Chains A and B, each alone.
Chain A
């Protein structure tokens, strides 16, 4: 969807960190993107190339780590893998499942010079 806006936010974060930590170039950016989130990783990678051009992250490699969906079933009282955001419990088929992970959108770490 709005991968361009998200990518700009990523580059903003990198530039802020560059000022704070005094580095001049980013060579690798590692993101955590939830499998159930709003983001298409391929679109993000495409946008990153375009948006990072001419910035400190120009040419940086982008490593997108996918975080699998997980929820907590209130009926079974245990964790269940989630294939979709509002999916049913894998154990009992119940729908009283609260998503606990899978919609992350984080800049986890980066390699800098």
Chain B
């Protein structure tokens, strides 16, 4: 699924030729790189693309829809397929998961509405954890490399994926971003999804856990309004707790709404600004990172 969202404008700064939708992954990869960086492809993506690699390692999905029109008529017949619509994405997700497991990297997929403070939270977490872990980041946004620039300021490598009109990251984009990141042995991969409480829920990227970030300025009924995302997540961070004294936000009601949607959800109240609750978040990460390291 190269031209994500059908909009024809997602960017990992990577280029697919129209009309050849064969996505078999095999060695020997042939996309047109408009730049020169070191690809440590231990699994090569040998397929045609809709995205252009641009100088900063961002991936750009900007080409139009593919179309292979084969004329010719034979008699009609019914063909039973029985294939899940998301099977392709899920296949790429499995590849990503296997690569990450092979390298003992713990991957977390951060999902939230726009403005919940994901990037600030990640910047803070990187600063606090970088002595302990090798950390890399994949940033997803419709446009701009602003977030990747903020991450790189911490010293951590970051790949920006611009989805164009797309409303979520998919596993295929993340696979390419993994190609372009420095190879990690152990450590953490933070994937910051496109700010959107709906679409990213359905797309497995190969992460170990989805972490949903909700901020206290958003209203406590968000889990009830957007249940799919809270159902898909394993951890909820209720962020911006430093603002609680100024708001009528009911933390208990919010957590109850989240747990109704997903009884297994773990929840932490945090503030990326004041640091409240972050120690517990880091402990949560550490416990799982050590798990990823174990053989």
The chain A residues found within 8 Å of chain B, CB to CB, are 1-2, 4-10, 12-13, 15-18, 21, 23-25, 27, 31, 38, 47, 50-51, 53-56, 58, 85-86, 95, 105-113
Contacts and interface: CB of A to CB of B under 8 A. Distances in A.
Contacts of B85: 6, 9-10, 13, 31, 105-107
A28 B248 CA distance: 53
Interface in B63-114: 65-89
Given A24-B72, A25-B73, A27-B76, A5 B170 contact: yes
Contact of B5 (A2, A50, A110): A2
Given A8-B3, A105-B85, A24 B74 contact: yes
A90 B38 CA distance: 58
Contacts of B89: 9
Contact of B202 (A1, A7, A12, A108): A1
A105 B86 contact: yes
Given A9-B1, A113-B74, A4 B81 contact: no
15 contacts: A1-B202, A2-B168, A5-B170, A13-B85, A16-B21, A23-B74, A24-B71, A25-B73, A86-B260, A86-B261, A109-B78, A109-B81, A109-B82, A110-B79, A111-B78
Contacts of A113: 73-77
Given A5-B166, A23-B74, A106-B83, A86 B231 contact: yes
A27 B79 CA distance: 11
Interface residues of B, number: 47
B212 interface: no
A14 B1 CA distance: 13
Contact of A12 (B1, B70, B231): B1
Nearest to A10: B85
B7 interface: yes
B202 to A, nearest CB: 5
A107 B168 CA distance: 22
A57 to B, nearest CB: 10
B211 interface: no
Nearest to A18: B70
A38 B198 CA distance: 8
A12 B172 CA distance: 14
B221 to A, nearest CB: 14
A6 B86 contact: yes
Given A13-B81, A107-B85, A50 B6 contact: yes
B199 interface: yes
Contacts of B72: 24-25
B167 interface: yes
Nearest to B4: A5
A56 B70 contact: yes
B65 A54 contact: yes
